[in-house]
Amino acid sequence: MSYYKPLEYIVPTEDDGMVLRTILQKRMGISRKLLSRLKLTEQGITVNGERKYIDVKVRAGDRVAARMEMEASDDILPQPLPIDILYEDDELLVLNKEAGMIVHPTHGHYTDTLANGVVHYWREKGVSFRFRPVHRLDQETSGVLAVAKNPYVHQQISEEMQAHGLKKEYVALVHGVIGSDEGTVDAPIDRNPLAPHVRIVTPTGYPAVTHYRVERRFREATLARLWLETGRTHQIRVHMRHLGHPLLGDKMYGPGGTADEADKAAAEGRIPEADGSQQWHGASAPLSEGITVADRSATQPQPQAASSVCQAALPAADYAPLGRQALHACTLGLTHPVTRQWMEFHAPLPADMECCIKQLAQSEAAHEA
């Protein structure tokens, strides 16, 4: 049986006499689920090189080690695909995902994914890991994506993400001119019951918070930088549509997209519940309790509704360079699960978005002339 490099902890004086289970969970941060797996292997949990039961007491100076079995992604077909590696060590692989590439194989789409390329890359290096993306990016979203090389690393980063400790920064091009310099959208998100693949803003949804700041205004569009406190599916795309500023090139949430079609199917947008109450099922619920659009610009008044923040959206077809939504994950910051050092990874703006920005600037200059 083969193992990855062990996680080790030297027992300090203040932990003398502590139960091994406590050391593993409280000092080393090993989850109950992972601990159960480690207990089943010969070298999973050792003290000074000897296998031990987790109810024994340790002494100052003892070397506690946790070893995870090597894994493989046998269910993923290795495929030679170009991948852009930003960083790699024994625990982490950080990539710059190109737009148009699916992260993980799905039903009916088993090849040409990021996972296929990564598994092939690992096989060529003669190493074995299970493909565990720490988070997901939509197929048409480009940018930074981290892959954990073992279950402990995945667990640690997932917990940091749940505690809102990760830094996830995006750049987007949106329809219309955002009036406020910066702001926050605090608007719960859930599935549209009439189109489950589409997400909507609804007071009964899951908490979702997006912060934004205007980087540059064009005559008909805005370049914005965004930060996520939560990681709901399609969060930025849904929130910007809610503001009245859908992303350029967004086929689902942009003007005339799938979400608009779902709105039409929802008739008046309200469906009576069993208790006689009304629940909003449209794509942009009215601002009410639990749904907030906060304008933090010192020069702009506090908005009373989403429409007061923006100008009307423009036809998506006006911007030829983009064949996808103009969204790029530019920065990911996290605490390294083993070294405990804060790390930030950056992906440059892709060529298609650079081209679109150039076209918008040229259009503005021509209009002013």
Among 16, 55, 112, 138, the active-site one is: 138
34 to each of 1, 4, 232, how far by Cα in Å? Answer: 18, 14, 26
Q: Please tell me the distance from the alpha carbon of residue 25 to that of residue 35, in angstroms, as a whole number.
A: 8
* 290 torsion bin: left (phi>0), alpha (psi -120 to 50), beta (else): left
By the 8 A CB rule, do 129 and 72 touch?
yes
Q: Which is it for strands 142-148 and 327-335: parallel, antiparallel or unpaired?
A: parallel
By the 8 A CB rule, do 309 and 242 touch?
no
Nearest to 331 by CA among 176, 144, 70, 89: 144
318 as an active site residue: the answer is no
DSSP tag of 337: T
By the 8 A CB rule, do 245 and 212 touch?
no
Q: Please tell me the distance from the alpha carbon of residue 94 to that of residue 145, in angstroms, as a whole number.
A: 6
Query: What is the DSSP secondary-structure string of 183-252?
Result: EEEE--EEEETTEEEEEEE-TTSB--EEEEEEEEE-SSEEEEEEEESS--TTHHHHHHHHHT-PBTT-TT
Q: Please tell me the distance from the alpha carbon of residue 134 to that of residue 157, in angstroms, as a whole number.
A: 7
Q: Please tell me the distance from the alpha carbon of residue 187 to that of residue 195, in angstroms, as a whole number.
A: 19
CA dihedral 327, 331, 334, 340 (to 10 degrees): 160
Which residues contact residue 235 at a Cβ distance below 8 angstroms, ignoring those fewer than 6 apart?
A: 189, 199, 208, 210, 228
By the 8 A CB rule, do 330 and 137 touch?
no
The residues annotated as belonging to the active site are 138
